[in-house]
């Protein structure tokens, strides 16, 4: 299964360290940002699968904005919000903006790992579905070129056949002339 890269965004250095250590131990790649601005520049520079962000942070960029930024950069990024119990309504607001889940503080790590596992599973399936899709698209594309070329050729030959028929049925000319003209037509193929 795929190893996820997780971006942790939290203004509290203690929580940041804690998350970083626990996630590393579970074999995830971890990136950290102390605020929304730092998160934004990391998202622009590096590939991230999951953003784990605090909902309430000082400054203009809170969890909702981080969600929007992440989704704008790559809509496949999953965002999990970390919220205080009192801000569940805001978390729901963030889910409308594309966050996929939220966890209440204090963080229950078993729960977090379970959700990350699910995300990894889905992304693995998603990727093999995409690969399959791509293989099918290539096949279909090749088939369509062949079919369309044949379709045009058949129509051209049909047109030629109609002309030859008209020539052969043209009773104003002698048989010999008709045959010569018909053969001329056909040899043009």
Partner 1 sequence: MLKINSSELKFIAQYIYDISGIFLDESKAYLFETRLSSIAEELGCTSYQDLYTKAKKDTKKTIERQIIDAISTNETLFFRDKGPFELLQHKILPEIIDKRTSASPNLKTNIKIWSAASSTGQELYSIAIIIKELIPDLSRYNINLLGTDISDTAVSQASYGKYNKFEIERGLPQKQLQRYFTLFGDSWKIKDEIRAMVNFKKFNLMLPFSALGRFDIIFCRNVAIYFTLPDRKKLFDKIADSLTDDGFLVIGSTESLTGVCPRFVPKKHLKSIFYQKKL
Residue placing its CB nearer to partner 1 in the complex, 133 or 173: 133
CB burial class (10 A; 0-12, 13-18, 19+) of residue 36?
Answer: buried
Stretch that binds partner 1, among 7-15, 28-36, 37-45, 71-79 (CB under 8 A): 71-79
CA–CA separation, 185 and 162 (whole Å):
11
Question: Considering only residues 1, 58, 89, 96, which one is a binding residue for partner 1 as defined by CB under 8 A?
Answer: 96
19-58 residues in contact with partner 1 (CB under 8 A) are none
Stretch that binds partner 1, among 42-50, 91-99, 104-112, 163-171 (CB under 8 A): 91-99
Question: Considering only residues 98, 103, 109, 168, which one is a binding residue for partner 1 as defined by CB under 8 A?
Answer: 98
Q: Smallest distance from the beta carbon of 94 to partner 1, in angstroms?
A: 10
SS3 letters across 117-145: HHHHHHHHHHHHHHHHHHHHHHHHHHHHH
Q: CA dist 124 to 1, 3, 26, 121, 167, Å?
A: 7, 10, 18, 5, 64
117-176 residues in contact with partner 1 (CB under 8 A) are 126, 133, 140-141, 143-144, 147-148, 150-152, 154-155
DSSP class of 149: H
Q: Smallest distance from the beta carbon of 162 to partner 1, in angstroms?
A: 11
Q: Smallest distance from the beta carbon of 89 to partner 1, in angstroms?
A: 15
Residues 6 or more apart whose CB falls under 8 angstroms from that of 71 comprise: 77, 79, 97, 98
Write out the residues near partner 1 by the rule CB under 8 A: 71, 75-76, 95-98, 100, 126, 133, 140-141, 143-144, 147-148, 150-152, 154-155
């Amino acid at each position: 299964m795929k190893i996820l890269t997780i971006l942790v965004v939290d203004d509290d250095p203690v929580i940041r360290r804690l998350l970083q250590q626990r996630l590393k131990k579970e074999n995830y790649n971890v990136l950290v940002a102390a605020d929304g601005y730092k998160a934004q520049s990391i998202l622009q520079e590096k590939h991230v699968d999951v953003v784990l962000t605090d909902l309430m942070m000082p400054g203009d960029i809170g969890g909702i904005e981080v969600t929007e930024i992440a989704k704008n950069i790559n809509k496949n990024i999953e965002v999990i919000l970390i919220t205080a119990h009192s801000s569940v309504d805001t978390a729901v607001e963030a889910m409308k903006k594309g966050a996929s889940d939220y966890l209440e503080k204090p963080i229950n790590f078993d729960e977090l790992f379970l959700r990350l596992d699910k995300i990894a599973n889905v992304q693995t399936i998603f990727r093999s579905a995409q690969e399959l899709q791509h293989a099918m698209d290539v096949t279909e594309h090749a088939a369509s070129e062949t079919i369309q070329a044949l379709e045009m050729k058949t129509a051209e030959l049909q047109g030629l056949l109609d002309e030859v028929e008209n020539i052969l049925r043209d009773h104003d000319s002698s048989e010999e002339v008709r045959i010569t003209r018909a053969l001329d037509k056909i040899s043009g193929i």
